[in-house]
Chains A and B, each alone.
Chain A
Amino acid sequence: MNRMFAIFEREMRKFFRSPVLMVMSMMLPLVQLIILGNAYGGKIRGAKVAIVDYDHGPQAVKIREACAAIAVNIATFNTVNYTDERKAREDVRTGKIDAAIIIPAQYSRRVYAQDAPKLGLVVDNSDQFTSSSIESELQSLVEALNEPVIQPRVVNKIALQFVELYPFVSYMKFLLAGSISLAMYISVMIGGGMLYIDDKARGVHEGYLVTPISKLELVMGLNLAGAVKAVLAGVCLTVIGSLMAGLGTIFHPMQLIQAFTLIVGTAIAFNGMMFLMMVRVDDPLVPRAMFGVLNTLLFFPSGAVFPIIAFPKWLQAIAIIDPFTYCVHGFKAILLKDGGFVAIQYDLLFLFVFGIGTLLIATPLFKRTL
């Protein structure tokens, strides 16, 4: 045991002598959290929508007034008057404006006559986000106009009432679980994988191998140090990320305990996975080359940036065996839902079993000789 702790001590001393390692392992996830968290999940504002009015009747004025109300309130779009439908269509195509509402001639008369009145909407569907926002806004506008002026006493339409269990979840909050996982992965990759292979290449391990340390003590010492580094990265990012995203997790002791347990489970799982992958590697270029591939292969299928149920089956299969998935799910359950240990029990079970299992496979593969 003393020999195992000697290896652990050496790794930790080295780690604290190079704070750049800690900073670097947290830099990418934090930048990602800030940039992606602010870039995605926002609402479309200030799109330019042309109104081509061939009617000029009272109902056309109602449309124009409703559009003006949208422009000054929710501000999804501003309106621009056009006189020519063809010109408006061309400008949508060339990107000068984002959409065009066509109010055809005789529109007001058809509304009054209840003779299938129609409005036209030309959108640039190469930009799905903007076009669907404008479509949704105008659909609401048309539904409001279709409502009878005097509501019937007995409502015979089916209404759906939404109950949102949690306060508004911004994209930054949604992304935080993935960012914590990513910070721990990078810590394991740099602090575990890369430094381990670098030490091997520099001959540091040769120094250990001539001492009476056993294979198990050496493996456990290296892995304990790797897991502790990942825990430190996870704790730091949970605290910093929660504060940045506006979550109060760090002020709730139970949530903190749950998060810490999940961080420990994730650290063991990631470290076991990394050690298994690196146990027979000697070339320092290998972990560097694997870094990007593994990042894509493990992070994106985990549900960190997009829900897993939207994935094709083969990608869902990767998600099932990906430890990132359980880490991300667990953190979402703790940070966004306050689901308690019940919500993360299977995540913890998978992570601990995965971590211990990979270590059990890696240990016999570890060579006690050169």
Chain B
Amino acid sequence: MTATGNSSADVNRGGEPSSSAVAAIAVENIVKRYGTFEAVKGVNFSVADGEIFGLLGPNGAGKSTLIRMMTTLVPITSGKAFVAGFDVAKDPDDVRRVIGVIPQALTSDPDLTVEENLSIYAKLYGVPRVQREKSMAEVLEAVDLTKWRGAQTKTLSGGMRRRLEIARGLVHNPRIFFLDEPTTGLDPVSRIAVWEMLDNLRKTRNLTMLITTHYMEEADKLCDRIAIVDHGNLVALGTPIQLKQGVPGSNVVEVHFDRETLEWKERLEKLDGVTSVQAESAGFYRVLTSSGSKTTMELVELAASLGETLTSLSVQNTTLDDVFIHYTGRQLRDEQVKAVFSMPPRPGAQP
């Protein structure tokens, strides 16, 4: 099945499912409306069996709504979604039996032990009594929580709780695994541990995974293909390499001038191979270019000829950050979309 996006000419560049012709997930012109607000606007894509598929997008882009429609949590307004061949709207219980879902929130009960949480979900999924113990032992082993099976969930660290969530989603041995921002709120070490675990699970259990994330590195490391969602539209789809290649300019030169002048942006844009220049802060520019080495040399020469000093200069390959900015026109950072509350300083408190 062909994977297609809906609203951008860039979509579907190289967006073929990786190996199998059988789609584990297929979404056809799916729409979700809340009153007059359209959260998802006719998205199309498919995920092949055994593939890890990433949905990337800023907060409010519609990726959680998409995953909720596919997991039967939110009714579909129009369009169709098939999971393991079952129509999500018509056969929701069949869909629920073959999927494991890790919602964004930590849904395991903090008052119950690790084992009790798994046992209750095994019963909810109808795992037969004879298989229940074996299945629980296997998933606990897989997420490295065997020695914590008797611990109350509230005593676990954030990373361990997230691993418990993953174990909970696997206790009935699903074919397809949906993970909604599985590493949000974790420290870098726990995040890497979760990535490794998910990669192992895919290999050992032949799982198809659909992951939503707003960590570029996570998408880059884990996903076979990535779809970028913005304002309810699918704006890009492809493998990480294809997406990076799709962005004009294969290198990024980051330069920091000692002195900011208004002409710098214009001067940089005139250099050979430069496709775009972003002013990040005073004197700091991010230059996308087709030839990093050539642009760097020209830039150094230009600065020397003008008697300007460079504070720093670096050349790197295009990242998914650049892909994201290219398609959505903004940085993918929480603080841009969420109001963060911080306690006011106490009177007389020293910094």
Contact = CB atoms under 8 A, between A and B. Distances in A.
Question: Are chains A and B native binding partners rather than an unrelated pairing?
Answer: yes
Interface of A: 2-3, 5-7, 9-10, 13-14, 17-18, 202-204, 206-214, 369-370
B112 interface: yes
B121 A211 contact: yes
Given A212-B96, A369-B73, A370-B68, A203 B103 contact: yes
Given A3-B126, A212-B97, A212-B125, A206 B73 contact: yes
Contacts, number: 75
11 contacts: A6-B120, A10-B116, A13-B111, A202-B105, A203-B103, A207-B103, A208-B124, A210-B72, A210-B96, A210-B101, A214-B93
Nearest to B107: A207
B103 to A, nearest CB: 5
Interface in B1-34: none
B304 interface: no
Contacts of B71: 210
A13 B74 contact: no
Interface in B101-152: 101, 103-109, 111-112, 116, 120-121, 123-126, 152
Interface in B128-181: 152, 168
B329 to A, nearest CB: 30
Q: Chain B interface mostly helix, strand, loop or mixed?
A: loop
B167 to A, nearest CB: 13
B283 interface: no
Given A212-B96, A369-B72, A369-B75, A6 B109 contact: no
A17 B111 contact: yes
B287 interface: no
Contacts of B74: 369-370
A14 B111 contact: yes
Contacts of A14: 109, 111-112
Highest count of chain B CB atoms <10 Å: which of A9, A10, A202, A207: A207
B84 interface: no
A370 B105 contact: no
Contacts of A369: 72-75
Interface string B88-100: 0000010011010
A270 B68 CA distance: 34
A6 B116 CA distance: 10
Nearest to B71: A210
A167 B282 CA distance: 91
A86 B210 CA distance: 93
A191 to B, nearest CB: 13
Contacts of A202: 105-107
B107 A206 contact: yes
B106 A203 contact: yes
B112 A10 contact: yes
Contacts of A18: 111
Interface residues of B, number: 29
B120 A10 contact: yes
Given A210-B101, A212-B93, A212-B97, A2 B126 contact: yes
Given A3-B126, A9-B120, A211-B125, 12 more contacts: A13-B112, A14-B112, A18-B111, A203-B104, A206-B107, A207-B107, A207-B168, A210-B73, A210-B96, A212-B96, A212-B125, A369-B75
Highest count of chain B CB atoms <10 Å: which of A17, A206, A211, A213: A211
A209 B72 CA distance: 8
A112 B12 CA distance: 121
10 tightest Cβ-Cβ pairs between the two chains A and B: A203-B105, A207-B107, A6-B123, A210-B101, A211-B124, A17-B111, A212-B96, A206-B103, A14-B111, A212-B93
A212 B109 contact: no
A6 B124 contact: yes
A370 B73 contact: yes
A219 B210 CA distance: 30
Contacts of B112: 10, 13-14, 17
Contacts of A6: 120, 123-124
B93 A204 contact: no
Contacts of B168: 207
A209 B105 CA distance: 14
A281 to B, nearest CB: 18
Contacts of A212: 93, 96-97, 124-126
A212 B174 CA distance: 12
A204 B73 CA distance: 13
Contact of B96 (A2, A17, A204, A211): A211
